Amino acid sequence: DADVTQTPRNRITKTGKRIMLECSQTKGHDRMYWYRQDPGLGLRLIYYSFDVKDINKGEISDGYSVSRQAQAKFSLSLESAIPNQTALYFCATSGPSGSTDTQYFGPGTRLTVL
Amino acid sequence: QKEVEQDPGPLSVPEGAIVSLNCTYSNSAFQYFMWYRQYSRKGPELLMYTYSSGNKEDGRFTAQVDKSSKYISLFIRDSQPSDSATYLCAMSAVAAGNKLTFGGGTRVLVKP
C-alpha cells in the first residue's frame, strides 16, 4: 500500500464550486505539505503544517485553505474554484527538523476548473 | 527572476550515453540540495540528497554541488530507457525548515 495517498486522483469542476482534496499518510510523519505543479514552473508550495496545531502559508496560498484533521490527514480546499487553479496538486510528508529534509510525495490530483 | 533555474528540455540521448542535468540558484542560504525524479502521472521521488558543497555518488547517479558558483549538477551514467522522466532539482535552507524550493524540471528522454 502507498505511504501517501491522495483522493480524488482526477477532478473536473466548474468555476465557483468548492472543492476539497484529501491527503492521508501512513509514514508517521509530523510534517505535511501541499504543492501545485504547473508546466515549466516546478512545484510551488501552497500550505504546510509541522504538526496538528501548526498551519503555515506557502508562497501561493491565496484562494486556498487547509485543514489538518489528524497527524495523518491534511486536506486542501478551494473555496471558489477558478480556471487558473487548474493544475496538478501534490501532497508531501517529511520527518521532523534535523532529519534529511526528505519529502515523500503522493501520486497527485489532476484538477481541471472549467 | 526565479530563485532556482532549470532548463526545461527536453533532453534526448541514446541509450548508454551520459545524461547531464543542472540547476542554478540565487539564494546563498541554500544548504540542502536534492534531485527528484518524476515519471509521467506520478509524484516526484527522491533520487539524490547532498548537504553543502561536494560530490555524492549512488550507483549510476552522481550529484555535484558548487556553492561558490551557486550551481548543482546531476549525472546519469549508462542511461537506460527507464531513466526517461522529468528531473527536478530542489533545495532548502536550514532557516526555512523543510520548505523546499524547486526548479521547473528537465524532461529527459533516453532512446533505445
Question: pLDDT means per 10 residues in chain A (114 residues)?
Answer: 89 96 93 91 91 92 95 96 96 74 89 96
Q: Does the CB of B108 have a partner CB in chain A at under 8 Å?
A: no
**A82 grid coordinates:** 477558478
Query: pLDDT value at position B51?
Result: 84
Q: Is B75 on the interface with A (CB under 8 A)?
A: no
Interchain pair B98, A103: CB under 8 A = yes
Strand-pair partners of B49: B34
- Closest chain A residue to the Cα of B40, Cα to Cα: A107
What is the C-alpha separation between A78 and B30, in angstroms, rounded? Answer: 31
Which of A48, A101, A103 is the best residue to mutate to test the B interface, defined by the most B CB atoms within 10 Å of its own CB? A101
Percentage of chain A modeled with pLDDT above 90: 76
pLDDT (0 to 100) of residue A1:
58
How many CB pairs lie under 8 A apart between chains A and B?
58
Contact B108, B83 (CB under 8 A): yes
By three-state DSSP, how is residue B5 classified?
strand
Summarize pLDDT for B41-80 with one digit per residue, the tens. 899 999 998 888 889 999 999 999 999 999 999 999 999 9
pLDDT band at residue B96, thresholds of 50, 70 and 90? low
Q: Which DSSP letter does residue B6 get?
A: E
Please provide the average confidence, as pLDDT, over all residues in chain B: 92
8 Å CB contact of A94 and B41: no
Query: Does B97 lie at the interface with A, CB-CB under 8 angstroms?
Result: yes
Q: Rounded to an integer, what distance in angstroms lies between the CA atom of residue B38 and that of residue B42?
A: 6
Does the distance separating the beta carbons of A31 and B98 come in below 8 Å?
yes
Q: Which pLDDT band, with edges at 50, 70 and 90, does B98 fall under?
A: low
Phi, psi of B73 (to 5 degrees): -135, 155
- Could you give the percent of chain B with pLDDT greater than 90? 75
The nearest alpha carbon in chain A to B8 belongs to A40
Average pLDDT, chain A: 91
Cα B40 to Cα A41, B45, B87, B107, B110: the distances in Å are 16, 12, 11, 10, 14
Q: Give me the pLDDT at residue A56, please.
A: 93
